[in-house]
Structure formats: C-alpha cells, structure tokens
Structure 1
C-alpha cells in the first residue's frame, strides 16, 4: 500500500483534513465548522475524530497541521491566534500525536500554503518562491529548493507586520502602517465603508471599481501600491524566482495583477525591472492541506 500523508487546515471558520499522496494529489478531504467559540479542547477532539475518519484504508505516515499564528512550529505549540479565542500556548502537536500514535508536526498556515504552491503549484520547478496570501489578513511563506525557510524563531515571512507607512493605520496587533493594515481585504473593506458608505466587504469595493467608480478605484490603487512596496522590499531582500499571490482578494486577479506588476517595477532597482515574476496561486484552497501534509512528510524524512 502506498504511503500517504495527512494535512490539516485549521482555520477560524472551517477545519479541513485531507489525505495527500506522494505526488501531491489530494485523495480525500473532509470539512467541518471549526466552531471556534467552543475552545481548543473541543476543536482538537473533533480534529482527531476527523483525521481518524479520513485515514481509514490508508497507511498514513504523518500528520501536518497548518494553523494561524503566532505559533512555535519547532515545539508544536499554538501561541495565541486572534481568530481562535482561548488558545494560549496549546501543545497541539503532542496532544494529537499521543492519540494517533504517528508523528505530528505544526506549521504556520501561510507557510503550509507556500510549501504546497512551491512543490505542486505556481512555484514548481523553481529554485525559490515567496508566497503571499491577501485575504482577511496578509501572510507569507518563503521556500527554497522545496524547503521552508522558517527562521530562527519560526517567524520568517510574517510580512503582514512589515511597516509600509510609518504612523499609518493600525490593525489588530500589527504595527501602525503595516502591510496588513493597508492592503488586506479587511483594510479595503474598511476604506470602502469609510469613504463610500458601503456595508459589504472588499468584493463590493472591487465590484464598484470594475464599474468605474472613482473612489473605489482610488482605494484599490492605494492598497495595490502598498502591496507593491512590500513585494519590492522582499525582492531586494531575498530575490525569489517567483512571487505567488493567493487568498480571497486574488479573485480579482485579472484586475489587480497587471497593476501590481507595473507598480513593483517602480520601486525596484533598474536592473530588476521587468524581471520579477508575479503569478497567481494555482492550488487555491488545496494549498494549505497539501503543504501541511508535505511538511509532515519532510520532517519525518529528516528524522
């Protein structure tokens, strides 16, 4: 029987568990509501039950759990995610491993998606890739030669907190003027509410922009400009072979990708202009599960 790997995508809204083969194919996936308000003990109990359910008839080698940060991936501890109330220094990897009896590893959810895209999506056959998710928040993950670069403390590629506009808007526990406070779906929705009087999310701002509304166009332009500055900073820092953009905001990729590419060129050295590859994600909602599973596989192979 072929060895397979379990990937878990722990989100504030949904909990997803999948079986992934050695070629990165998602063989089976199941999803249930996270019900974040029920607390970590209930969520982990239901996670374990879901893992046992999906791995029937499979020889699972390991489990990789992708979770929102902050977290300690080396010790398998979820520190205190804003969208998972009541989670404080929860040793999720050891809890799940003790019940299942197979190795369990924790990874930042953006890092998991970055690894999935690097191995089987828009970054495949590239020497390096930097994945950026632009959704409710902004996260990132940097991969070289199909290996995550997590940093000494596990905080590598936490680009949402990168300061773009000193003294600017503050969002959640981020720095004032952070990338997340200026370019996330949340920030776009906030500007739409304040400046146009909208009541919906970022998608409503994009819709108005596509219809030619001048204020909506300005909001989108400002957000893309902030994102372009962030990408330019990263290009000058790590110079990846490709930037991969994912997340809910990328549903409007036909509109924003050309603008991002144009603006990035304005902020980089002349020698980099026209050379920076910026591509949309390919795996979309599969990336987190696939990447978490592959992270678990790699950690087992390293042992």
Structure 2
C-alpha cells in the first residue's frame, strides 16, 4: 500500500494527514498556525505535525498546500498576505532536507482541485476546473489528473479576473476583480453597508428570512460568478466545474440560480453542456489534494 502525507498550511490552521492510495485519512493532526510568529517557528510546527502522522510508516513523499503567491516549481513561498514574513521561503527544500523525502508545494486552490479531480466530484473527468469561494476566490484547472500551472504558475487565478471595469478597488487585485465582488469578504462588506452585520453567513440567513437587501447582494455575487464561469467556459471549456468554499454551500440559494445565470452568458450550443457541481470533499479537499501532488 502506497502511503503519502498531505499538509494544509493556512493562515489560521496547519493540518497534516497520513493518506492511503484512495485518499482515506488514516491519521490526522492540526494546530493553530499563529501566523504572527513567523516562518521559522511555523515550519518547526509543520515538521512536528508531519512527524506525528508519519510515525514509523514508509511514505512516498509530502505534499504541502498553502496560500499564494508561490513558485510551485521551486517550492518557494512568495510573501502571501496571510503569512507575514514569508518572503521567498524555500519551504519544499527545508522540509525535504529534514525528512529526506520528496516534497512538493502548490497553492491551496490547486491542491483542492487535484483532490476533487481525482477523488471527488470531478473523478473520471478529463478536465476539471475547481472554483472556491470563501474569504477570497481561487481556482485551479486539472487536466488528466495534473494541475495546469501555466508559464509562471498562475493559471486558474480567477479571483483577479475583471468582471466590472473600473469597479471596486483593492490594494493587490484589479479594480472590479471577481474577488472584490463575489467572495465571502465582499458579501459581508456589502451586507455591512446595508446594516447587516456578521459577515456573509448573516447575509445568507437574512436573505432566507426574506430581507430583500440581503437577497440583492447575493444576486449580484451570483451574477459575477456566472460571468466568470462563462468566461472560463469560452476560454477552456472544462468537462465539469466543481465549486467549493463556504459561500457555495447552499444548493438552493447559490448553485441553482448560478447554473441558470451561466446559461445567459454562453454560446447557445453550450447552454445545456456547462456542468456545475458542488464539492464532494469539502474541508478535507486541501489536505487530501496536497498528498496527491506528490
């Protein structure tokens, strides 16, 4: 039996899991990242977690999913906003030297895309585009079981796709980018502007209770997501879109209207062939997918 280790390194939590060849989680540990303590202490914590799940097992290697930007080919982290101090940190090399095992690093959206493509909602499909909508918006394209990285490793970064020219400005994204309009953060901010506090979750609850202002915010976010999916359909035409993240959890409130909206933005011949399905692996996609990039 081939075993591997997946690590999900986030700004809030670090999770490590021992996986079998079917993606079953055999052992699983996690701790708070404590992002403020910096890369040296966080990497030490990551190594400790890997040691705990590995034990005496022989493993194929270690895969790590973490926030971008990063250089997946070199395994180097390049100053992600939610990991302060991580400026050109050669994470793969450090972990590889410690364990004397192959180590690969990729961004969190890409590793989740791998998990869904190989073992989740996209299993059996030749081309899978994974879209995650939560605090931010991310995406990854998997073709024949492999992430398509693009020339510089930025393929699939749909969060920075402009859907409203000269729209809402952002310090690190294009004005009018999808993430500024349809992420959980964006929905929460729009809600606060209408007197609905508590973030995106509260906006969805208010809409369900009949609050028209809340429903208008959600409708707008769905509209922008539909534009993005239509643009991706015309550019890459994947066999299936798998959508995940907290904002996409509601079939009735999000997925059903999203599917209908997309039909209005694609060529007539594509209206019935664009397939949009929910994630099957949910919060486990990151740690499972990390193990399968190795």
Q: Report deviation, 1:55.
A: 0.3
User: What's the counterpart of residue 274 of structure 2?
Assistant: 276
> 2:41 aligned with 1:42, yes or no?
yes
> 2:103 aligned with 1:104, yes or no?
yes
- Asked if the contact 1:7/1:291 (under 8 Å) is kept, the reply is yes
User: What's the counterpart of residue 284 of structure 2?
Assistant: 286
Q: Deviations over 1:233-264 (max 9, x none)?
A: 00000000100000111222331101100000
User: What's the counterpart of residue 4 of structure 1?
Assistant: 3
User: What's the counterpart of residue 231 of structure 1?
Assistant: 229
> 2:200 aligned with 1:202, yes or no?
yes
User: What's the counterpart of residue 299 of structure 1?
Assistant: none
User: What's the counterpart of residue 253 of structure 1?
Assistant: 251
User: What's the counterpart of residue 186 of structure 1?
Assistant: 185
User: What's the counterpart of residue 134 of structure 1?
Assistant: 133
> Does the residue aligned with 1:118 lie in a helix, a strand or coil?
helix
User: What's the counterpart of residue 171 of structure 1?
Assistant: 170
Q: Report deviation, 1:199.
A: 2.2
> Does the residue aligned with 2:65 lie in a helix, a strand or coil?
strand
Write the distance in 2 (CA, Å) between the matches of 1:251 and 1:205: 14
Write the distance in 1 (CA, Å) between the matches of 2:175 and 2:181: 10
> 2:213 aligned with 1:215, yes or no?
yes
> 2:55 aligned with 1:56, yes or no?
yes
Any gaps of 5 or more consecutive residues in structure 1? 297-303
Write the distance in 1 (CA, Å) between the matches of 2:213 and 2:46: 44
Tell me which of 240, 261, 264 is aligned to 2:262: 264
> 2:129 aligned with 1:117, yes or no?
no
Write the distance in 1 (CA, Å) between the matches of 2:111 and 2:25: 14
Write the distance in 1 (CA, Å) between the matches of 2:170 and 2:184: 12
Q: Report deviation, 1:172.
A: 4.1
Write the distance in 2 (CA, Å) between the matches of 1:67 and 1:48: 15
Write the distance in 1 (CA, Å) between the matches of 2:85 and 2:48: 21
Write the distance in 1 (CA, Å) between the matches of 2:57 and 2:198: 43
Q: Report deviation, 1:170.
A: 2.0
Q: Deviations over 1:139-169 (max 9, x none)?
A: 0000111111011111000110000001001
> Does the residue aligned with 1:143 lie in a helix, a strand or coil?
strand
In the superposition, the TM-score normalised over structure 1's length comes to 0.96
User: What's the counterpart of residue 239 of structure 2?
Assistant: 241
Write the distance in 1 (CA, Å) between the matches of 2:151 and 2:239: 23
Q: Report deviation, 1:27.
A: 1.3
Q: Deviations over 1:104-147 (max 9, x none)?
A: 11111100000000000000011111000000000000011111
Write the distance in 2 (CA, Å) between the matches of 1:172 and 1:57: 46
> Does the residue aligned with 1:151 lie in a helix, a strand or coil?
coil
In the superposition, the TM-score normalised over structure 2's length comes to 0.98
Q: Deviations over 1:37-59 (max 9, x none)?
A: 00011000010011011101321
Write the distance in 2 (CA, Å) between the matches of 1:182 and 1:172: 14
Moved over 6 A (4+): none
